Structure 1
Amino acid sequence: MQGNDLATILAWVLLWAVVIGTATLFLLRALRRASVLVQICLVVVATVAVLVAGMVSAFNAMFISARDLEVMWYILAMASVVAVSLSLMLGAGVSRNAARLVDAARRLGRGETLETADNQQKAAPAMTSELAGLAQELEASSRRLAESREREAAIETARRELVSWISHDLRTPLASMRAMTEALEDGMASDVSAYYRKIIGQTEQMTAMVNDLLELSKIQAGSLQLRAEPLDLYDLVSDALSDVAPLAAKRGITLDGGGDRECMAVADGPSVARALRNVLLNAIIYSKPHTDVHVTVGRDDGHAVVAVQDRCGGIPADDLPHLFETGWQKDPARGSAAGLQGSYSGAGIGLSMVAGIVKAHGGRVSVENVDGGCRFALSLPAGGGTAANNVQGGTS
């Protein structure tokens, strides 16, 4: 074959490739919404067409015999059939897997849980790496959505129970206030001043509950404003012990405080004092009468820690993870035995608020069973640094 003949053949092949390739691109653009099977077959047919056009140009340039030309046509026909058949098989597999993924996405949209990747691999043909990766992502999304739905259901249940318990806790003092005001109105009260004192006490009780709810809503919304400054936790604990001392004396509970005389922390004083008071109230309410509540202040791993140990007899291990959940309570009537109302009387918001306040400070709260009771530990960032001002905190 002469050099001119070779150049001619290559020129014709290039021309056919450009023409067929351009036509194929236009067709692919027109059929971009068609099935992947159609698009794969179109690409294969275009490739075979370029090959046939090139071979025909070569045959004409080489002037081969009719018999040889017939043989070459048979070879090209067989190669074309095999190529198209393989493209159909490949396209069908890809199309089938794509349809499976579409069905999986549709079921995911309906809220169904998809099978695990292992079960999918056993029940279906192997996919390409890209489609297999997509299937795994769909399965992971299905799992995350299922977990999200479970959390949403748990939150909704807790919300309903919280509303129910708060309604119950508000109904009791309101009924008592109504009865006392009717007695005052009818002139049936033997000790008018005592009735007034009781009404004021009931009002303060409901005010405290509403304040707790407002504080908790700020914590959960992430809008709790904290003005952090260096403060001595020992002094804060001493003030909290003084506040709850009358209640402890009424139940025969001995309050025992101790630890580091000077334990600095960077925190918002009013909110931490509220959290400490709630933990102490919880310890007093659930401790057995005529026992003791032990409070210690110290340091641990660079944090200032306040620990409150009561004599409640312990908490079931299955209940420990739920203590800081909003609205959770083991016994719907808890607190009634002590004749007490407030943060821990049934609304189930006291410990949740404690956890929210501590977490908003960048600290952590924990509880564990100890001999004869349980131990709550509030860990806060230790002092020594520059105080942060107007820190916005919240819980997720």
Structure 2
Amino acid sequence: MRDILLTFLMALGCSLVVAGAGLLVLRGPLRGRSVTAHIVVLLLVTVLGVLAGILGAAMEMFISDHDLHVLLIVVAAAATVSLGAGLWAGRRLARASMWADEAREQERQAEARRRELVAWVSHDLRTPLAGLRAMAEALDDGVVADPETVAEYHRRISAETDRMAGLVDDLFELSRISAGALRLTLSAVPLGEIVSDAIASAEPLAAAAHVRIAAAPSGWPVVDGSVPELSRVVDNLLRNAIRYTPPDGTVTVTGGAADGEGWLAVTDTCGGIAEGDLPRVFDVAFRGTPARTPTGSAGGGLGLAIVRGLVDAHHGDVSAENLDGGCRFVVRLPLSGSDRPGRAGTGRPGAPATAG
């Protein structure tokens, strides 16, 4: 019994010395290091503790060199397996922790965007509603009686109602994109026809703003896409360009095919976008600096966010860049099988076809 107790105490003492040294390492040089490093050090402390205990017990027991070598070989084999398993588990835990951190950061960013969107939409709904209420009360109370003013009030009520309906429509479209509920019916879409229809729809808005729209006469590719969604993309880009282009300015629409992709570029003469705003122009409810905010009735800050969501759903890409005196939005989409290189008009966004 006395020999057993002495052997135990010897092994315990040696193991405690190693464990103490390991704790000092964990609390010192390894503070703030990765999960993998901590797991490996803990396993090393365990293995070295066992090894120290064996060596201490062997000194007390005076076992043969052969038996000691056998014990050391067993410990080495177990240590190899333990360290390998610990390294594998540590890397998995580190990867899972990184993914969890990224997910939490994305959730925080999404929540911040949702709060920002609610704030913007609340403002955009509250302001026209207050105006509508005031005009309706003026008409009901007979404060406004002359036919010309009554007609003007009716016109303004109709315009504000249309704007609010458009905002609600944008919110619905954005919710479909965000929820992953957007289902596209892809087909071969002539991009020139989409652009032609969008320009015809935007002409009254451009005329009211004294802005000219110019489009390339030819060279339009055929892309894989869904007609309603691509129509909305082009329409949103055109209306955004018209809104920010000063009177007597020009909005130019060009297109072509390059590197297996069809592209569409909408160029305006807005004076450019602040460099700090360029990475955020496609964010929900982002309207830019006050210097870029248009006078008069602005949009809800959702149009470009919808453009990015719809283009992403088509496995395409959209970007914005500054030019001399204005900016350009470029949409790139996969070419249709019938419009691969050699069959379509060619060109690059940096060298657009001549505008008509």
Same structural fold, with TM-score higher than 0.5 when normalized by the shorter chain:
yes
SS in 2 for 1:184: helix
State the shift of 1:271 in Å.
1.3
If you compute each CA radius of gyration, which structure gives the higher value, 1 or 2? 1
> What is the CA RMSD across the aligned residues, in angstroms?
3.5
Q: 1:243-296 CA distances to partner (integer Å, 9 max, x unpaired)?
A: 222222233322111153542122111111111111111111222332211110
2:126 is paired with a residue whose SS is: helix
Q: Which residue of 1 aligns with 2:178?
A: 220
Distance 1:227 1:125, change over 3 A: closer
**Corresponding residue SS for 1:318:** coil
- Structure 1 residues 91 and 143: CA distance shift in structure 2, 3 A: farther
Q: What corresponds to 2:348 in structure 1?
A: none
Count the aligned residue pairs.
Answer: 288
Equivalent position to 2:93, from 111, 132, 138: 138
Percent of counterpart pairs with the same letter? 38
Partner of residue 36, structure 1: none
Aligned to 2:66: none
Aligned-pair distance for 1:202?
Answer: 1.4
Equivalent residue, structure 1, for 2:15: 89
Paired with 1:93 and 1:260, the residues of 2 have a C-alpha distance of 78
Task: Report 1:369-388 matches (<5 A).
Answer: 369-384=322-337
Q: How does 1:300-311 map to 2 (within 5 A)?
A: 300-311=258-269
Shift of 1:181: 1.1
Match of 1:304, SS? Answer: strand
Question: Matches of residues 86-165 of structure 1 in structure 2 within 5 Å?
Answer: 89=15, 93=19, 115-117=32-34, 127=44, 128-165=83-120
CA 1:236–1:124 in structure 2 vs 1: closer, same or farther (change >3 Å)? Answer: same
Q: 1:355 Cα deviation (Å)?
A: 0.7
Match of 1:361 among 298, 310, 314: 314
1:205: how far off? Answer: 1.0
Aligned mate of 1:315, from 273, 289, 306: 273
**C-alpha contact 2:318 2:330 (8 A) present in aligned 1:** yes
Structure 1 pair 206–333 and aligned structure 2 pair: CA distance change class (3 A) = farther
Name the SS for the 1:224 alignment partner.
coil
* Paired residues of 2:212 and 2:250 also in contact (CA < 8 A): yes
Judging changes above 3 Å, is the alpha-carbon distance between structure 1 residues 196 and 329 closer, same or farther for their aligned structure 2 residues?
Answer: closer
SS in 2 for 1:226: coil
**Structure 2 length normalisation: TM-score?**
0.70
SS for the counterpart of 1:207 is: helix
Structure 1 pair 328/151, CA: closer, same or farther in 2 (3 Å)?
A: farther
Please tell me the residue identity of whatever aligns with 1:138. Answer: L
- The residue number in structure 1 matching 2:255 is 297
Unaligned runs of 5+ in 2: 45-82, 340-356
- In structure 1, runs of 5+ residues without a counterpart are 1-76, 101-113, 387-396
The equivalences for 1:266-281 within 5 A come to: 266-281=224-239
Deviation per CA, 1:38-82: give whole Å up to 9, x if none: xxxxxxxxxxxxxxxxxxxxxxxxxxxxxxxxxxxxxxx89x959
